[in-house]
Structure 1
């Protein structure tokens, strides 16, 4: 991997942490996530309409992924309403690949190496230490079920996307349509449940939400580009440095409390994810 690609992947990791931070920064987390979803629709369409249509077998998977994203975003929004970025993000981001790896080994007959099992153990210990900090530091325990719910939804749509992309014939087009369905389902679902009052009116909220959507797409696009010219496993592993970026943003930008245990837990989660993905 060249130095330029390395910097690009680290930039993608930063953008992923950044869009989460922008959602956390909004006065209404739900409103910011709603604006992000609205902006996803034209972004997805712009890419999708420039590509051939995916194979018919891929459409059910794309719709299923969009539905799963609704739960992912909802859980993540509620988690950020109740906890710090530097606490929620590592748990949600770290638990997902652990769940995918364990599910793949148990039900998809994916072969796993001894180092990968070691990575899962590191992940489990890091997540347990991060979750323990909620109790010892006097934070709201209500963030935990939502953070783990977000992780479960991430693991689910990761598996769905993997299967859908395989039968689509064009992974880029498939993901673009997932963006469209994701944006439509979350927007329409939220408006149906919460009404139009959930849609922010303040210009600042639209700026933050649109910036978050652009950062989300940028993180994805850079990663896909990097995977075309560098080992996919290495790119996937380096992307997980987003956990460290999120912890640093929470600490330096939001003034969130940084403890020794939180720092150690974050490093363990990053190390565990990298090992499982190499």
Structure 2
């Protein structure tokens, strides 16, 4: 992975951790998720109007990724209802890199070099340390199961998008349709709240809008880098967002203990450097 690709993915990881920190700071997580997906859809419409249609060969990936994202939002909502964000996030994001690398090897024959696999192992180990340090072993079976399910969905749509964007012949067109097809998510949440006589608070809309911009930027950057770097490496480095989230938790939310999270950060950093050199 080149230095440019590495820098872009690390920036995307920081953005991803940032919007999850916003999500953690509010009680109305469903409202924030609705605003985030609405921001996706609005940007998607702009991209659809501005760029060519993606190639026909990429549409199965768009459909698959869209359906997987619907499942992702549903599981994310349930996981945060039954488990802590600091438990769900590291488990779900930590499972994805190994599954992506394995799937890429099986589906498209894309394998990492031995140092690359070592780096992937370090990243996954560091994320695992963080998950255990945060008390995941004491979490309820339901929350752990939901987090594991999220990891499978994250890996699945990562592989689908990695393949689809390479076949699209229009990266921004692919992104546009992928984002636009998230529109049913905020519509469904808004319709449900209207039936129940509820609405969205101003703070929720503001936080969700900011989170949506960060989420769209992060995912768009990752989609682009997948066209110039191995899928497994991109997915692994992207999961350094777990470390950024841990640091944000320490510095912003005062979460403790510090030592275990710093150890995990060092392990992941070593994995990131190894992947970059590989």
Give the TM-score taking structure 2 as reference length.
0.80
Structure 1: segments with no counterpart, 5+ residues: none
Distance 1:198 1:59 in 2: 38
Is the CA contact (8 Å cut-off) linking 2:75 and 2:150 kept in structure 1? yes
Is the CA contact (8 Å cut-off) linking 2:31 and 2:200 kept in structure 1? no
1:21 CA displacement: 1.3
Instruction: Name the residue aligned to 1:245.
Output: 244
Instruction: Name the residue aligned to 1:187.
Output: 186
- Residues 248-257 or 101-110, more deviating: 101-110
Q: Structure 2 matches for 1:85-234, cutoff 5 A?
A: 85-135=85-135, 142-181=142-181, 183-190=182-189, 196-197=195-196, 200-221=199-220, 232=229
Structure 2: segments with no counterpart, 5+ residues: none
Aligned: 1:20 with 2:20: yes
Distance 1:73 1:245 in 2: 22
The alignment of Structure 1 onto Structure 2 pairs a total of residues equal to: 274
1:136 CA displacement: 7.7
What's the Cα RMSD here? 3.5
Distance 1:125 1:31 in 2: 34
Residues 115 and 138 of structure 1: is their aligned pair in 2 closer, same or farther, counting only changes over 3 Å?
same
Over residues 47-90 of structure 1, what are the superposed CA-to-partner deviations in whole Å (9 max), with x where a residue is unaligned?
Answer: 12100111233233212211111122222333334445444333
Distance 1:198 1:105 in 2: 50
Instruction: Name the residue aligned to 1:268.
Output: 267
Residues 22 and 57 of structure 1: is their aligned pair in 2 closer, same or farther, counting only changes over 3 Å?
same
Residues 65 and 194 of structure 1: is their aligned pair in 2 closer, same or farther, counting only changes over 3 Å?
farther
Instruction: Name the residue aligned to 2:44.
Output: 44
Give the TM-score taking structure 1 as reference length.
0.80
Is the CA contact (8 Å cut-off) linking 1:79 and 1:146 kept in structure 2? yes
Distance 1:61 1:170 in 2: 14
1:12 CA displacement: 3.3
Residues 164 and 120 of structure 1: is their aligned pair in 2 closer, same or farther, counting only changes over 3 Å?
same
